[in-house]
Structure formats: structure tokens, C-alpha cells
Structure 1
Amino acid sequence: MDQVFKALADETRRRLLDRLHEHNGQTLGELCERIDMTRQSVTQHLALLEAANLVSTVRRGREKLHYLNPVPLHEMQERWIDKFERPRLSALGAVKRRAEEAMTDKPTFVYVTYIAGTPEKVWDALTDADLTAAYWGHSNVSDWRPGSRWEHVRTDGSGIADVVGTVTESDRPTRLVTTWAAPEDEADAARHSRVTFDIQPHGDIVRLTVTHEDLADEDERSDAASGWAAVLSNLKSLLETGSPLPEEPWSVPNR
């Protein structure tokens, strides 16, 4: 948290976050156009923001796109604001939603979190049917080979899959890419979205980046933002404490 406060203390770094808030997913060149500073200086500021986990990056060919990561701000909100000023949380939520907006040719939603564990444990938590049932409320079922089908199956014994798709990349324990669709849209590729899980060791912990792209509209983007935040918070709790959160985070009403 000290790195977050140090990063936010500088006016230039706050301006860079403002630029990403206005238009998420910018290259270094795009950010430099609106900051009266050399590329080298902007690069140094971005490195500090990335070290504080306030900015995450995704490679798109030769481009490196920068995204505002709301996770540390959310942690600050929970620690110092949630207890005292709940009525103002709706305003913070609006900032977060704007930060997650992206152009249609760029990742729609990027979420970064750090988990105490190993890449293998995080991979298993994303792909093991019993583990996903424990923290997600659904079982992820597949052999997880490229080209295989996967299903997101309810745990109520009905056998109903609410999401289906195809495994397009599978490189245990570092990268998993899948398509997502409602069962009724499975035959229509134009209605599929795409989710990428990048799992990287970060010292003794793991950096998990979830990129959800090709979403249909603003409502679906909003659902993805709130859904991933809840699911990954529950996953983190399971791996770090042995138990999911005491109350399913997606069932907690907004106050």
C-alpha cells in the first residue's frame, strides 16, 4: 500500500491515471501526446504506477497498451472508506466503470490481482471442476486441450451449463485462453467473447491477469467488471485461507 500512496503523491502520475480514466488502453505514444514531458520521463512514471499495481499492461502485436487497474483503489476503499462513507461508494463505482471502458479493437476488461500461491495452484483453481465449484458456484469442465469444448456447469445437480466455449490456448501453468458464449449462441461465433488468463510468478506470489474482450455492449462490460471482481476475490480467499469468502460476493446487495 505504501507504493500506491507514493505513486499517487505525484501530480504527473495522477495526470497519467486521469488520461487512462478518460480513455483506457493507451500506448506510450498516445499518453506522451497529452503530457508535456519526454518519453523517457513518462516511461519512468508509468513504471512506478505499474510497480504500485495501479497500471497494468497488455501486449497487442508491437504495441504495449496501458490500463488503469482499479484493484488497489478498491482495497483503499474497503480499508478506509467503506466503513465510514458508504453513500459515496456509488461515485467511486462510476469512476471504476469508466476506467474499464475500452475501444472495440482492444481488450474490453483487464483485471490484475496478486495471490499468495504458485502458478500451478492458480491454474488448478481455474480449471479443476471441484475447486471452481467451491468458489465460483459453477464447475469448469473440460480436458483443457486446445480445440476442446469447455462448460461452466451449475452445481445444483441439474447439469445445466450457463456458459460454453472452446479452449483456444492452453499452456499450463502460465496461460489459458477460452471463448465464452451462452449455450444458445454457441453456433454463432460473432456472439462469442474471449477470456485470457495470464499467470506469472511474482517473487513468492502469483500475478493473475484476466483479459475479457469482444463483449457485446456496455451492459455486458459492466457485468464482466463486477463479475470478475467477485469471482477473483473468492478465488484469492480460497487459495490463501483454504476457504472461500463467508458470503458469496456476487450475492451481496449494493448498499
Structure 2
Amino acid sequence: MPLETTEMDAVFKALADPTRRLLLDRLRERNGQTLGELCERLGMARQSATQHLDVLVRAHLVTVVRRGRERLHYLNPALIHEIEERWISTFDKPRLGAISAIKNRAEEYAMTGTPTSVPTYVYVTYIRASSEHVWRALTDADLTARYWGHANVSDWEPGSRWEHRRTDGSGQVDLVGRVLETEPPTRLVITFGESADAPGDASIVTFLVEPHHDIVRLTVTHENLADATALREISHGWPAVLANLKSLLETGEVLPRAPWEMSPVHP
């Protein structure tokens, strides 16, 4: 579904200011920064930075995640992705992806010094549904099987194991994890990405469901990623899974083709 006119206006208004674009660039370099860290890196007064960040948050280009008393700022790629989908054709994507890959590889060769850490991934989407319906979609094995292609099976109690089971009748488990926190119907925290055959250090996924009138804002935060390859994989996977979830809750049907089967733009 294309962006509404008012949403698009807010996005382009936010991007029109060079200071706000610089803030986005700094978050792209290192996601999850506090206001103080952003001010320090930009040499900007807190009041000025706050005003620019407020514009980016209202345009849904930046998401704020609370960690105790801190407010961490993350890029939200959802709207930029929708803009790309509107103006970049399917036939242009492979060519643009190849050009981007050449540019990125050249920049990698030119860089010196120690490598930067892999940032936390944050994705935000808005769904026309109740928080109870979204919670059920996240925790019901039959529903996850419909929009994810795997059934997520657990009793979803803190400390319990959850399994990512295939739906081809084999019953094979591809991933396992543990439930860390459960606050129905608004917050679920799980470990993610362990192999069923070789459990070990896992990344952490937090689902935050925030209701507002007849819609919810679903924020998915993926932390403790192993490396840049893991970041690329989940950056392709989460938008696809969540688009299918959104379609199922809003229309009663998943997308006509599994979105994760599409090749990502960047290799």
C-alpha cells in the first residue's frame, strides 16, 4: 500500500533539512545513540538536536526505544523502503543493487582502522488491528505458520523453550530459543537464531505492541547480532515476515507470494 499524502509530505519535509539528513547519516553509521551521543558527535546544542529529532520521529524516520532511563534513537527503514517500492521498478533493482555493491566494496577497500560493531536492527510497522490480535499472531503456532512459513511453538512463559518448526510435515526444528520476558499483549522478548543442533550465543528479539485507537505500532528490535552478514540477512527477513503478518491481520490473507523469496537489492 503506498504512503498516504500526509505521511509522504512529512517524510520529504523532514529530509529537506541538511541537519536532519546528517542526523540520519550518524545513526546509519552507529544506530541506537542517545541524545547526548548525537549532540557530541555533531557539536550541536541539545535543544537544537531535540527539535530536529522530534521532526524525524513524527515523520517515522527515527524510532525511540527506552532502555531504563535512556532513550536510544534508531533509524526506521520502513518508510524509506515504501518510497523505494513506489519509485524504483522491479527491473531497476538488480542494476542499482550491482552499482551499490561495487560502491560499497570500493569503500571497504579504502577504509582503514578497526571494524565498527554491528548495530542493533529496529523495524516499525503500523497495523490496523487490536493489540490482542497482534499478540495472538506473534504467539499462536497456526498463525505463525501461515505468515512466517514456520510454526513458532511454545507456551510463551518466561524461561520456556520455543521452536521454529517447518510446516512441510517433517516436524524438523530449524531454530530454537528461550522466552526471556512476557507481558501480554504488549511485550515479548526472546532469544533468536540458535541452531537446534548447536545451541549457543543467540541474538535477542523484542516485540513491542503499542495500541492507539484502532491501530497498533509494532516495533521489532533485534540485538546482539553476530556480524554484518547476520545484519544483512535479518534486514531482508524481518520486513518480509512483518509485511505478511500485517497483510494477514488486515485482510485475512497473507501476501500472494512469500515476500522472503524475493532477492534482496543488496547482495
TM-score normalised according to structure 1 size: 0.88
1:232 equivalent among 236, 242, 248? 242
- The offset of 1:206, in angstroms, is 0.9
The one-letter amino acid of 1:183's match is A
Return 5+ residue gaps in structure 2 as ranges: 1-7, 105-114
2:168 equivalent among 156, 170, 173? 156
CA deviations on 1:47-105 (whole Å, 9 max, x unpaired) are 1101111001222233211111111100000011235743225567999xxxxx9846x
Matched, 1:174 2:204: no
After TM superposition, the structure 1 = structure 2 runs for residues 1-255 of structure 1, keeping only pairs within 5 Å, are: 1-82=8-89, 85-86=92-93, 87-89=95-97, 103=117, 108-180=120-192, 181-186=194-199, 188=200, 191-254=201-264
Look up the SS of the partner of 2:49 in the other structure: helix
Q: What is residue 98 of structure 1 aligned with on the other side?
A: none
Return 5+ residue gaps in structure 1 as ranges: 96-100
- The offset of 1:244, in angstroms, is 0.8
The one-letter amino acid of 2:96's match is R
The one-letter amino acid of 1:162's match is D
Query: CA 1:103–1:119 in structure 2 vs 1: closer, same or farther (change >3 Å)?
Result: farther
Q: What is residue 111 of structure 2 aligned with on the other side?
A: none
Deviates more, 1:207-216 or 1:167-176: 207-216
The one-letter amino acid of 1:223's match is E
Look up the SS of the partner of 2:250 in the other structure: helix
How many percent identity over aligned positions?
61
**What is the Cα-based RMSD across aligned positions, in Å?**
2.2
Q: What is residue 107 of structure 2 aligned with on the other side?
A: none
- The offset of 1:18, in angstroms, is 1.4
Q: Distance in 1 between matches of 2:89 and 2:226?
A: 32
Q: Distance in 2 between matches of 1:224 and 1:252?
A: 14
Q: Distance in 2 between matches of 1:138 and 1:120?
A: 21
Q: Distance in 2 between matches of 1:252 and 1:85?
A: 14
- Does the 8 Å contact 2:188/2:207 carry over to 1? yes
TM-score normalised according to structure 2 size: 0.84
- The offset of 1:42, in angstroms, is 1.0
Q: Distance in 1 between matches of 2:215 and 2:116?
A: 29
Q: Distance in 1 between matches of 2:99 and 2:211?
A: 34
CA deviations on 1:152-196 (whole Å, 9 max, x unpaired) are 11001111111111111111110001112111233x3xx222111
The one-letter amino acid of 2:208's match is D
Query: CA 1:192–1:84 in structure 2 vs 1: closer, same or farther (change >3 Å)?
Result: closer
- Does the 8 Å contact 2:31/2:120 carry over to 1? no
Look up the SS of the partner of 1:185 in the other structure: coil
Q: Distance in 2 between matches of 1:91 and 1:170?
A: 44
Q: Distance in 2 between matches of 1:5 and 1:198?
A: 27
- The offset of 1:251, in angstroms, is 1.2
CA deviations on 1:107-129 (whole Å, 9 max, x unpaired) are 62111111111111111111111
How many residue pairs were aligned?
A: 245
Query: CA 1:9–1:84 in structure 2 vs 1: closer, same or farther (change >3 Å)?
Result: farther
